[in-house]
Structure 1
Amino acid sequence: MLMTVFTACSLFSSDDTEQPRELQSIDEQVRLQRVWSASVGNGQGEHYNRLVPAIDGDFIYAAAADGSLAAFNKESGTVRWRQRTRLPIAGGVGAAAGMVLVGTLDARVVAFDQSSGEQLWSSRVSSEVLSAPQTDGRRVVVQTIDGRLIGLDAQSGERLWIYENTVPALSLRGTSKPLLAGNTVVAGFANGLIAAVDASNGFLLWEERVAIPQGRYDIERIIDVDGDPILSGGVVYVSSYQGNLLGLNLQNGQIVWGMPGSSYNTLAMGLGNIYWTDGFSHIKAVQNNTERTVWENDDLRLRKISSPVTFNNFLAVGDFEGYLHILSQVDGRIVGRQRLDRAGIRGNILAEGRTLYVFGNSGRLTALRLP
């Protein structure tokens, strides 16, 4: 199988000369307090990784491309343990049911004990893993770059089933994180499909096309679903590049909402809106279940922003220069800005209550709290 992958930032610009928009002064109304910060290896490394920490209970777990793995108390930042695994980590982190899970460039899924950091098992899969494996304590589900969704036994790592999908000739570098909801696994694929399978045996429950390839050339026909599916009120929301934004019934895949939109990031929801970012780093708010645009902000044009995340009444994104931007969910104005990592912020930001956890590209993990 011959497949070419592109990084997202190599495709999205209005022409060959336009530069990222310079930041303008803002009326700063929000200043987050830095609670703690810690270093985790070399962060995202040299590849276009989008490693994201994971929170489970009182702890947050983070991994770096050089194999560094660490657990911190999410309130104080106190180190619970550190491991130098030397694994080429590219997919992570998943954390649940007493396990910490990562995927690697050399096609492995590796499980560690949450309490000690000791390795529990390592399992070979079909190709490299670029998103976080997920578990419910019985099964581990992981998506590989060759279009396979794989179920593993959570206790042993033994393979239980494989669901296969076709992979186009050209693709963005990255895969969406599978959504594990009860006995259903939902995943998006590089061919523009989203599918739901039975978590016990991998049997297909339903599938729906999010995007249809158009254009004469392969590069015009890229339609990856790279943003993570999110679940709200029994509806799975998903986006695709050069395609659509959709809301689908978890049980049967029926489309309950949809509109045209091109995004390689994960959607966010809050205050009755759906928030999404396009390939030019414009941030948009759409009223849920409609196509009505509530507001749009292009102040960060071409700044390669991360997926949006909601907290309190605000929205947060990071950019390629390492700035964290805080926007009002009401009207989209930028009301706060702090620089956290000069190497940039690419991975998704985590929000829990009034606290944000930001993993910068250099490996700096920072917890910030709304006063």
Structure 2
Amino acid sequence: MTFFRRALGATALATAAALLSACGSTKPQPAPLESFKPSQVITTVWSKRVGSIDTPISLAVTKDAVAWASEDGQILSVDIKTGQERWRADAKAKLSASVGSDGRYAAVVTTDNELITFDQGKVLWRERLPGRVITSPLVAGERVFVQSVDRSVRAYDVLDGRWLWNYQRPGGDPLSLSTPGLLSAFRDTLVVGQGARFVGLDPLKGTPRFDFSVSTPRGTNEVERLADLVGPGARADDEICVRAFQLSVACVEMNRGSLRWTRPQSGTQAVAADDTTVVGADGADRLSAWKTENGEIRWRVDRFTHRKLSAPAIWGKLIAVGDFDGELHILSLDDGRTVARVSLDDPLIAAPVVSDGLLLVATRSGTLYALRAN
């Protein structure tokens, strides 16, 4: 569940769902599942399970492996093509953020604010962090990057845990969104969210290369003005597209470090993107698709209203998006038609990821499915 909290405080104010819902007592009813004639066959290539997961995670996908973790600290890395186990680890603690990996090294953060780094499943080092972390660490370039709830970003040497630098943009907002934020890499630039600002850092020094706002927060109070960038960002060739919480969707031209376009949409989940299309759902679960090049609308569908849609994934000519009931909806990228539906063992707990033609989806029960479109 999503919380707001003061950047330097310790008390959660309220859940996002409660603050974004209407004041009336009647809860919106989810749209019923539509009837349709399937035109796409989806098969399960393999599935693996760790323990249950109650808080959002990220799937750590590299060239040939994927790693994920349960809330109680069980970490598993498997071969993407076969599902064969590569290594397994146990953090021996409840996790608040999991898991970041470059294929060899992996990092998680415990609820006691301890950063633990592994080498092929064996503990390398542990380091106490100064604040709470819920965004999965990023492991890249023999460094571990960690973003705290107060938006500060710290870098450590992956081999020995040596602290390298800390970055926090001055003059931050009084509130921050306690949900996984933007922390990724584009070539030799570390990309982080600082409120509604999109910041590119030198990963060696922690100094800014560019810094600009993707949206202008609006509202009469601190909660209404929250516009943190929601992770993960969606890579589309030389662009990264991102959601500004409850405000807009935007695409950034990374070679220039500048905003390409932004469009209003009051959603809370991350978006998906490829070189033609950006897809995301608004707060009422109306799904929209925009042209990546200029932000022009391609189509909208409202068949899934109030079904609590997950972040989507673009899967070749398909779109995959989960709902609150454990249904995975497969749509046509061209026009949003439903072409297939897959029943999972639980709702999604991570943004779906596409790798080597397979769709990887993780559920609250801790099951990771690798699906193929035939």
| TM-score when normalising by structure 1 | 0.90
Counterpart residue identity of residue 99, structure 1: Y
Q: Could you tell me how far apart the structure 1 residues matched to 2:118 and 2:293 are?
A: 40
Cα distance 1:232–1:301, how it changes in 2: closer, same or farther (>3 A)?
Answer: same
**Does 2:307 align with 1:297?**
no
Shift of 1:8: 4.2
Taking the aligned partners of 2:240 and 2:61, their CA distance within structure 1 comes to 21
**Structure 1 letter corresponding to 2:34:** Q
1:54 is aligned, of 41, 55, 60, to 60
| 1:31 paired residue among 41, 44, 52 | 41
Correspondence 1:114-153 to 2 at 5 A: 114=120, 117-153=121-157
1:365 maps to 368
Distance 1:16 1:36 in 2: 43
Cα distance in 1 for partners of 2:280, 2:180 equals 18
* Secondary structure of 1:228's aligned partner: strand
> Aligned letter for 2:211?
E
The answer to whether the 8 A contact 1:88-1:104 is kept is: yes
Equivalence map 1:75-90=2 (5 Å): 75-90=81-96
Contact 1:321/1:341, CA 8 A, preserved across alignment: no
Q: Deviations over 1:274-298 (max 9, x none)?
A: 1122122221111123242111111
Greater Cα offset, 305-314 or 170-179 = 170-179
Whole-angstrom distance in 2 between the partners of 1:12 and 1:315? 26
Q: Of residues 321, 324, 328 in structure 1, which corresponds to 2:328? A: 324
Gaps of at least 5 residues in structure 2 are: 1-7
State the distance in 1 between where 2:12 and 2:328 align.
32
Q: CA deviation at 1:271?
A: 6.3
Point out the more displaced range, 29-38 or 327-336: 29-38
Q: What is the CA-CA distance between 1:195 and the residue it aligns to?
A: 1.1
Q: Report whether the alignment pairs 1:172 with 2:182.
A: no
Q: List per-residue Cα deviations over 1:171-221 (Å, max 9, x = no partner).
A: 4321324112233111113x3122111111111222111233322233222
Deviations 1:241-265 (A, max 9, x none): 2333222232453222222223332
State the alpha-carbon separation in 2 of the partners of residues 267 and 222 from structure 1: 18
Aligned to 2:12: 4
Distance apart, 1:7 and its partner CA: 4.3
Structure-2 separation of matches of 1:10 and 1:319: 19
Instruction: Write the distance in 2 (CA, Å) between the matches of 1:107 and 1:312.
Output: 39
2:51 is aligned with 1:41 = yes
- 1:213 matched to 2:213? The reply is no
User: How far apart, in 1, do the equivalents of 2:187 and 2:159 lie?
Assistant: 18
Give the 3 Å change call, closer, same or farther, for CA 362–168 of structure 1 in structure 2: farther
Over the aligned positions, Cα root-mean-square deviation in angstroms equals 2.1
Equivalent position of 1:348 in the other structure: 351
| AA at the equivalent of 1:111 | T
Change (3 A) 1:250 1:240: same
* Secondary structure at 1:141 match in 2: strand
Aligned residue number for residue 109 of structure 2: 103
1:51 is displaced (CA, Å) by 1.0
> For 1:276, which of 280, 291, 311 is the aligned residue?
280
Aligned length: 363
Residue 169 of structure 1, CA deviation: 4.1
TM-score normalised per structure 2: 0.90
8 Å CA contact 1:183–1:200 kept in 2: the answer is no
- The farther-off stretch of 277-286 and 255-264 is 255-264
CA distance in 1, matches of 2:86, 2:276: 38
In the TM superposition, what is the alpha-carbon distance from 1:118 to its structure 2 partner? 0.8
Q: Which amino acid aligns with 1:184?
A: T
Q: CA deviation at 1:13?
A: 4.1
